[in-house]
């Protein structure tokens, strides 16, 4: 039960020195429409510290070569750095071995890998894949595709009006036909934290494997895949201060071993003849083609940065920002917060009476404040709350209470304009 936040919140952690660490992020010095950038769209992507930018540039300047093949010095350096990044990810999420860490293009790619390599070969007509009602499209559509391919059915565990998973209803949907549970760790549209300890334990008791979409959790709270005891955990580099185009699929070695390759090509084979191909070992079996080497190395630098700041201190800081923003936004007349789950990460979705989210977004942008407006690739969630879209502010380690002042003032201004 290491993942329960109540437990983690107990040991006091030193507060973040936000003013100092903001200087590590050069983009935060940008001016937008003549105003200081207030970047509150971290659930879409996070900004990158100088160390990540430098690591990627240095790789291309000094070490660039293809991995796992050359006998020359640069190829060895590139391979060493690429594999060091894998070991770094392993430590960051507490996987048992580097073989359990597969580099992908991102969370979406990782989920599609599991859908096609793990689920597709075993799903039969009448089988079921169970997701929650608060999934991002990327944890819905890959399962719809595999259901169409196999005749299996997609089942949806409901959420309540606060945006909490209804765990009893979820438990009732677990049955002999359920072949996989695919659930988010944190809802990108609502901020709800799914009680994974219970969700995984219930599935485990029924012998059902679990995939967790960790895209919105990885940069914001400690993640320990062994404590979670999930079978798969997927996340993206760009949401944890790293580059785009790189992501991670953690999988239990026993699961990955049993799966056929996802894509065919170079690097994923041991030997090839026209009669027969022998696949490579884990994790290379799932890494066909030249990988995103610089991306993996950049992600490693991002994880080093996160570790240096301290994930628990980041978690505490963002929870304080969330509490501040929630209280002050909720006090604005006509503002409705969408997503009031008991346990939330640093995401505030809201609607403003009589004002469309896109108008909120445009007017805030004019003040230099970047938020997301729309359906957040979670249209079923929007439908459940009866809205076409919301405005969403989402926090990261470098955000400040001053920036929440700016957000609140900006929303007040929108309200005055539309009065």
Partner 1 sequence: MSGDLRDLYQEVIFDHYKRPRNRGALDAATHRAEGHNPLCGDQVTIYLDVDDGVVKDVRFEGAGCAIATASASLMTEALKGRTVEAVEALFRRFHDLVTDDNAKASPDLGKLEVLAGVREFPARVKCATLAWHTLNAALRNRHEPVSTE
Q: Shortest gap between Cβ of 362 and partner 1 (angstroms)?
A: 6
The answer to whether residue 279 forms part of the interface with partner 1 (CB under 8 A) is no
- What is the three-state SS of 116-175? HHHHCCCCCCCCEEEEECCCCHHHCHHHHHHHHHHCCEEEEECECCCCCECHHHHHHHCC
Q: Shortest gap between Cβ of 136 and partner 1 (angstroms)?
A: 15
In angstroms, the first-to-last Cα distance of the chain is 49
Angle separating helix axes 293-309 and 50-58, nearest 10 degrees: 150
By beta-carbon proximity to partner 1, the closer residue of 90 and 407 is: 407
Tell me which of 48, 136, 155, 375 binds partner 1, using CB under 8 A.
Answer: 375
The answer to whether residue 380 forms part of the interface with partner 1 (CB under 8 A) is no
**How many other C-beta atoms lie within 10 A of the C-beta of residue 339?**
24
Stretch in the footprint of partner 1 (CB under 8 A) among 69-77, 181-189, 273-281, 362-370: 362-370
Q: Shortest gap between Cβ of 217 and partner 1 (angstroms)?
A: 26
List active site positions.
377
Tell me which of 120, 137, 204, 356 binds partner 1, using CB under 8 A.
Answer: 356
- In this structure, the strands spanning 35-36 and 31-32 are antiparallel
Alpha-carbon dihedral 194, 196, 197, 199, rounded to 10 degrees: 100
Q: How far apart are CA 133 and CA 148, in angstroms?
A: 19
Q: How far apart are CA 355 and CA 188, in angstroms?
A: 22
By beta-carbon proximity to partner 1, the closer residue of 22 and 413 is: 413
Lay out the site mask for partner 1 across 3-42 (x = CB under 8 A, - = otherwise).
------------------------------xx--------
Stretch in the footprint of partner 1 (CB under 8 A) among 258-266, 280-288, 297-305, 368-376: 368-376
The answer to whether residue 359 forms part of the interface with partner 1 (CB under 8 A) is yes
Q: Shortest gap between Cβ of 419 and partner 1 (angstroms)?
A: 10
The answer to whether residue 417 forms part of the interface with partner 1 (CB under 8 A) is yes
Tell me which of 157, 363, 371, 381 binds partner 1, using CB under 8 A.
Answer: 363
Q: What angle do CA 65, 69, 75 make, to 5 degrees?
A: 30
HSE-up of residue 418 (Cα within 13 Å, Cβ side): 17
Q: What is the DSSP letter of 106?
A: S
The answer to whether residue 366 forms part of the interface with partner 1 (CB under 8 A) is yes
In the complex, which residues of this chain contact partner 1 (CB under 8 A)? 33-34, 354-359, 362-363, 366, 373-375, 379, 382, 388-389, 417-418
């Amino acid at each position: 039960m290491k993942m329960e936040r109540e437990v983690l919140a107990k040991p006091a952690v030193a507060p973040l020195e936000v003013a100092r660490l903001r200087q590590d992020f050069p983009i935060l010095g940008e001016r937008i429409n003549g105003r200081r950038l207030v970047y509150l769209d971290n659930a879409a992507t996070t900004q990158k510290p100088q160390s990540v930018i430098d690591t990627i540039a240095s790789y291309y300047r000094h070490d660039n070569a293809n991995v796992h093949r050359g006998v020359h010095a640069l190829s060895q350096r590139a391979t060493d750095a690429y594999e060091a990044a894998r070991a770094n990810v392993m430590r960051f999420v507490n996987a048992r071995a580097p073989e359990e860490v597969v580099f992908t293009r991102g969370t979406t790619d990782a989920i599609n890998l599991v859908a096609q390599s793990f689920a597709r070969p075993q799903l039969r007509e009448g089988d079921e894949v169970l997701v929650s009602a608060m999934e991002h499209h990327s944890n819905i559509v890959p399962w719809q595709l595999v259901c169409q391919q196999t005749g299996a059915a997609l089942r949806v565990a409901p959420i309540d009006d606060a945006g909490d998973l209804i765990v009893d209803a979820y438990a009732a949907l677990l049955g002999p036909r359920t072949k996989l549970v695919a659930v988010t760790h944190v809802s990108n549209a609502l901020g709800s934290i799914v009680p994974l300890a219970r969700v995984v334990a219930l599935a485990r008791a029924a012998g059902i494997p679990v995939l967790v979409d960790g895209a919105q959790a990885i940069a914001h709270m400690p993640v320990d895949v062994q404590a979670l005891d999930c079978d798969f955990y997927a996340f993206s580099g760009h949401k944890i201060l790293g580059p785009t185009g790189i992501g991670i699929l953690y999988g239990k070695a026993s699961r990955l071993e049993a799966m056929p390759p996802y894509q065919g090509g170079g690097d994923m084979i041991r030997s090839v003849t026209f009669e027969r191909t022998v696949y490579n070992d884990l994790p290379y079996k799932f890494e066909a083609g030249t990988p995103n080497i610089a991306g993996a190395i950049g992600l490693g630098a991002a994880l080093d940065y996160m570790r240096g700041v301290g994930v628990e201190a980041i978690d505490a800081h963002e929870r304080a920002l969330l509490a501040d923003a929630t209280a002050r936004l909720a006090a604005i007349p006509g503002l409705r917060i969408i997503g009031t789950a008991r346990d939330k990460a640093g995401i505030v979705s809201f609607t403003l009476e009589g004002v469309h989210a896109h108008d909120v977004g445009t007017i805030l942008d004019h003040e230099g404040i970047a938020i997301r407006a729309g359906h957040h690739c979670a249209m079923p969630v929007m439908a459940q709350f009866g809205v076409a879209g919301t405005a969403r502010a989402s926090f990261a380690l470098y955000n400040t209470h001053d920036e929440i002042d700016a957000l609140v003032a900006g929303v007040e201004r929108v309200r005055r304009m539309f009065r």
